[in-house]
Structure 1
């Protein structure tokens, strides 16, 4: 008899604290006839509660509801293993755990041993890393399960567990556990694990997918077994976008590659796995580790009755190598998914955008347009219409002053026409003059550009804010803020002016990247985005805030510094933590057309502005995490509001 078992790795678009909705996503998958023959169904990390519950993880009611959801899932586990994720409290600690269900029983709980606590992650605030070996939590679970039925065999064990199922051995390694040197899978493999199940909540960032995939491919090669990874997908709780990308790797090769950044609420990746083939490969290639494990580090084995092997197989599929990431195309995928989930989960009706004719606002308008088209293509017009968004989805407005050029007004109008937005144009000089004259009377002098230049620039941006907010509120729309990361780093934004908004979709990337992305789509490299005259004209126009008199010929890079240099300084200062002297050394190698003195002035200016602008970053709208680092002080880069010299 062939010993072949089937596995299904599931991506879910969960919502933090939506216990009922998340439960229904699980039942939708478990009732799917296409995986009836699955021996094992793996759901992502914290799949029942949602990953982004933050301080709500402390609520006992949340733990109880998750446990009741687990009990309600037991009828779906006949003759198959189902792994779900939830917070588990065992006094005095709260754990991020995976719960293993089989044959309508809870057969074990595996808590996470290594908690993610860098970048946007903050797991150690809520959870405790598992250090004990095995614990019996039967009594605690019974007290709050809400069920009078017998829901587990004898004792319910939590800890370092492995499972033996008629010749198949498997264990778990939860998300961050796979990224550390001393992975739990090492000890599992030492006791013969054929399969490592890896539930995850791994967020999107440029380049992370390829790194993550290599971790599982190399793990399966080094340990001569199978790694199966199931990830969350979508904008779950506001800032982080999870990208799916499930993978099943066997002995260093991908035998299953899941979709990334898709709009479906559930996505299932399946594979047939020949146990004899795995064990034959291990006997030939696996060698005992020279690191002797303490007896307490070996997992306890739990035996399951029945058999994982099935006669009916999933349809065979062929896969190429892990696809290489195109940063510009995947940026579009990530932001459009983030915008769609934010819109539908916030229960608003559409977007309003102050379309200035510049690179940032134009890029956001394009992304909203792509999002609508791709959702309709993926989920169908009927589903889209069921969401009851406004038509058109995007409302844009150009708010003109005497300092705006005809070029940007033309670009905004042309782009709005090409994207079929509801577009408006208004003049705001009268409103600006009213405020300037009021303060001039109060001060007893006339404000002028020599003495009051910054104030006169800021008031134009601030006058625009209440007007565009009013427009958005009349439509129950989200107001889109147009700032990028480069502007955030040096405070090149007016608080309560152009910084206003419900969400800032592109603050996770630099201005340099936005300009590169616009050139990328302008060249026709993305089939989802059609070329337009507005885009062609935009690409030949130098970025400008257009807040100074026209005769000043204001340009962003004249006010600040060249954007490529700004980006390099920001990267070395924020991401790498380098000193001024070290940054100068790197810049001299990259920008040899500038003198050391010029580069030093750019560095000094950047660091001065960065420190002075931290209070602004504390107040910027919610943004998506997109790059390998970010400046969001709530989730990425924490920095003192007041600081002295380094």
Structure 2
């Protein structure tokens, strides 16, 4: 029996926060050692933070990352003299090429630097902008360590193996793959397994996206099940400075079975997931897999770095002193509604505590979108107060600092914290209804937020009066006989006044209350509105951050129903049942403005268009054919009706594309996000009539009518 205790970490790292990153790495090593681990795996690029982006072009970033490694190696009793193996992520430059690398540290000495072979270059990722992929498969070269780490090579010198290799101990083998490599067809874990390497470690920087975890866990189980072996997965967790939330869920698998799984969402900075495994189970599993043995017998040998040290529990350890092996367990998944409640809430907490702000400000309309945002802030308050009361001192200190409480003050309840750090304001006009005003107030009471309800007509009237004074013209709403441009202008001025007042209140309310700091303004436009451009430019599309900007309207409605029960905010159920409306036009007995009528399409249809446009990469003509022939074949729609719907979508998408250049930085949760330049790189000036593409649609429709 070759028993071995291993640890995989989820760390809340922050791009360019070298002090904090070092402390969290160190804390994870200390915790891993306290749990009996002989090997500790950390996330991708954990020394500097994954999201440094163009800071990777600065030599300081890499130099400081290696200074952290030098400090970890030098601290007495941390790694040195402990027979502890630490696997740390850092950038490394060799021969003018910068690599995203894993650094294997054995007993305080560097044994191998393993660069990433396959870079992530789609969706949210641009790794090849900053890094080079290592293309010399199964080869290593000699690399001279940075000045800060001179003398730290495993042999006591200044040079270490650098490249695609594995570390072989006296009793087992250890190999690496990094994040994206798990997802590639020719994944490194295949060759590692065929070469007899028992332990395969993946230090990752993988972001949260609704319903994504199932795919990741399936790949991990497959990686360890297909060829046998121990598979460790470490990940960042938290907001490291951008739109993404890295969702942790560190885990350990043995021969296809998950034996340890960490939390996907949490507000703690450090989590070490531990399992004790038997490497002889790997040997037995592989030996019974005869076709694998045939492939292993003829596989190309990988480069191996020999380390004369044992990792497993010695044979002479008594039966009662041996650690208990970790048993297989079911994988735990959250429902999409839970993911919305937890992921954006944790992201908001990281943003708040790292921004220097003293709270959040939300224009709360009583509608589905702003109510979802408010509920997520409420969920944040529930998460952090629970963590603090369960003993997380870092969270407790942050709560007291942000809420401006005394250092020894007791931890407030979730509702009490909401009152201290969350302000909601109903900014009503003559076009607002008593129902939405009442729902906004009731929801604020459910959450505990400090709430104001004000009328802004005097400001709107002043702006319109000024326009009339300058031009001699007084615009009217459409229901009062005005033209479409007049109607839109009068709606937009209400929306933009709300934005101006929101930032004014957010900046000055702490001063009014005798506190320091400022409030961050929250946006509440969903991903479907961004895609359609159904928003006023510089209204809800302009805030400090937006926790629901990557979530579809359909998912938000499900979240409202779930949150009314599971978050304890019953008003959310009333909000969900109400028809969505901007309330920017006058209400009449025979007319009430609604979103879907305004847009000329339903939210469900918008979700379909978004997925076909982004995920399936369909242009107007291909989308029309897909919907008419396949997806909507059973809806009873004629070719002309489908054509009209598709044309309307692409017209509004393209004429409003400029709005997407001003979208508030949003939590990324949906893979058809229209977020300009970061996730969806398309131009913003279009020929909105799409003459060639629409003509192809018209020709198809004409043939259908003839046939």
State the TM-score, normalizing by the size of structure 2: 0.86
Partner of 2:338: 329
> Does residue 490 of structure 2 align to residue 481 of structure 1?
no
Output the CA distance in 1 between the equivalents of 2:546 and 2:439: 21
Q: Using the alignment, how far apart are the partners of 1:608 and 1:589 within structure 2?
A: 20
Residue 37 of structure 2: aligned partner: 38
Equivalent position to 2:399, from 366, 375, 385: 385
Matches within 5 A, 1:241-252: 241-252=245-256
Distance, in Å, in 2 between the alignment partners of 1:499 and 1:350 is: 20
What is the CA deviation profile of residues 564-621 of structure 1, one whole-angstrom value per residue up to 9, with x for unaligned ones?
1222122212221222422432686377265554443222111111111221111111
Q: In 1, Cα distance between the equivalents of 2:630 and 2:386?
A: 45
Distance 2:190 2:274 in 1: 25
Shift of residue 81, structure 1, vs aligned partner: 1.1
Whole-angstrom distance in 2 between the partners of 1:18 and 1:436: 48
Tell me, yes or no, if the aligned pair for 1:587 and 1:599 is still in contact at 8 Å.
no
Alignment of 1:307 onto 2:350 = no
Pair 1:455–1:286, CA change in 2 (3 A)? farther
Residue-by-residue CA offset, 1:461-509 (whole Å, 9 max, x unaligned): 0111111101111231110011001110111111122222100110101
The counterpart of 2:610, out of the listed 552, 559, 570, is 570
Contact 1:481 1:505 in 2 (8 A): yes
Aligned match for 2:205, one of 196, 201, 204: 201
Inter-partner Cα distance in structure 2 for 1:131 and 1:564: 44
Q: Does 1:548 align with 2:607?
A: no
Q: Distance in 1 between matches of 2:104 and 2:579?
A: 57
Q: Relative to structure 1, is the Cα distance of residues 280 and 93 closer, same or farther in structure 2, using a 3 angstrom cutoff?
A: same
Structure 1 runs not aligned, ≥5 long: none
**Structure 1 segments of 4+ aligned residues over 6 angstroms from their partners:** 289-295
Instruction: Kindly state the Cα deviation for residue 147 of structure 1 after the two structures are TM-superposed.
Output: 4.8
> 536, 560, 563: which is aligned to 1:521?
563
CA contact (8 A) 1:270 1:314 kept: no
Offset, 1:629: 3.3
Q: How many angstroms does 1:299 deviate by?
A: 2.2
Residue aligning to 2:649: 606
Shift of 1:160: 1.2
C-alpha separation between the residues in 1 aligned to 2:384 and 2:610? 35
Within a 5 Å distance, the mapping from 1:36-75 to structure 2 comes to 37-74=36-73, 75=75
SS in 2 for 1:396: strand
> In the TM superposition, what is the alpha-carbon distance from 1:92 to its structure 2 partner?
1.6
Q: CA RMSD in A?
A: 2.1
CA distance in 2 between partners of 1:173 and 1:128 (Å): 15
> Which residue of 611, 616, 638 corresponds with 2:659?
616
Match of 2:195 among 185, 191, 195: 191
CA 1:481 to 1:245, structure 2 compared with 1: closer, same or farther past 3 Å? same
Preserved contact between residue 403 and residue 546 of structure 1 (Cα < 8 Å)? yes
Asked if residue 463 in structure 1 is aligned to residue 478 in structure 2, the reply is: no
Give 3-state SS (helix, strand or coil) of 1:10's partner. Answer: strand
Contact 2:7/2:32 (8 A) holds in 1: no
For the structure 1 residues 245 and 473, does the alpha-carbon distance in structure 2 shift closer, same or farther, using more than 3 Å as the test?
same
SS at match of 1:638: coil
Residue number among 173, 180, 188 corresponding to 2:177 in the alignment: 173
Taking a change above 3 Å as real, the CA distance of residues 574 and 36 of structure 1, as seen in their structure-2 partners, is: closer
Structure 1 residue aligned with 2:285: 281
- SS for the counterpart of 1:287 is helix
Q: 1:406 aligns with which of 434, 454, 470?
A: 434
Q: Choose the corresponding residue for 1:537, options 568, 574, 578.
A: 574
C-alpha contact (below 8 Å) 1:611/1:641 kept by paired residues? yes
Please give the secondary structure, in 1, of the residue aligned with 2:423.
strand
CA contact (8 A) 2:9 2:41 kept: yes
Distance 1:319 1:375, change over 3 A: farther
Q: Distance in 1 between the 2:420 and 2:637 partners?
A: 48
- In the aligned structure 2, how far is the partner of 1:595 from the partner of 1:399? 43
Shift of 1:537: 2.7
SS of residue in 2 equivalent to 1:446 = coil
What SS does the corresponding residue of 2:193 show, helix, strand or coil?
A: helix
> Does 1:585 pair with 2:588?
no
**TM-score, reference length from structure 1:** 0.94
- Partner residue of 1:634 out of 665, 669, 677: 677
SS at match of 1:269: strand
Superposed displacement of residue 510, structure 1: 1.3
Quote the offset at 1:135 in angstroms. 4.6
1:425-464 to 2 correspondences below 5 Å: 425-449=453-477, 450-451=482-483, 452-464=486-498
Shift of 1:176: 0.7
Distance of 1:577 and 1:108 partners within structure 2: 41
The corresponding residue for 1:557 is 596
Closer/same/farther in 2, CA of residues 591 and 478 from structure 1, 3 Å limit: farther
Cα distance, 1:421 vs structure 2 = 1.0
Deviations 1:144-196 (A, max 9, x none): 33255444425311101111111201211111111111111122122111111
Distance 1:361 1:539 in 2: 12
1:317–1:163 distance in 2 versus 1, CA, 3 Å: closer
Q: Secondary structure at the match of 1:468?
A: helix
Bigger drift between 377-386 and 196-205 goes to: 377-386
* CA distance in 1: counterparts of 2:386 and 2:684, whole angstroms: 45
Measure the CA separation in 1 of the matches of 2:263 and 2:290.
Answer: 31
Q: Is the 8 A contact 2:375 2:563 kept in 1?
A: no
What corresponds to 2:269 in structure 1? Answer: 265
Deviation at 1:288, TM superposition (A): 4.0
Q: Deviations over 1:192-226 (max 9, x none)?
A: 11111111111111222111111111111111211
Deviates more, 1:230-239 or 1:375-384: 375-384
Correspondence for 1:146 = 148
Match of 1:105 in 2: 109
Equivalent position of 2:22 in the other structure: 23
Indicate the SS of the match to 2:454.
strand
Distance in 2 separating the partners of 1:190 and 1:591: 50
CA contact (8 A) 2:10 2:272 kept: yes
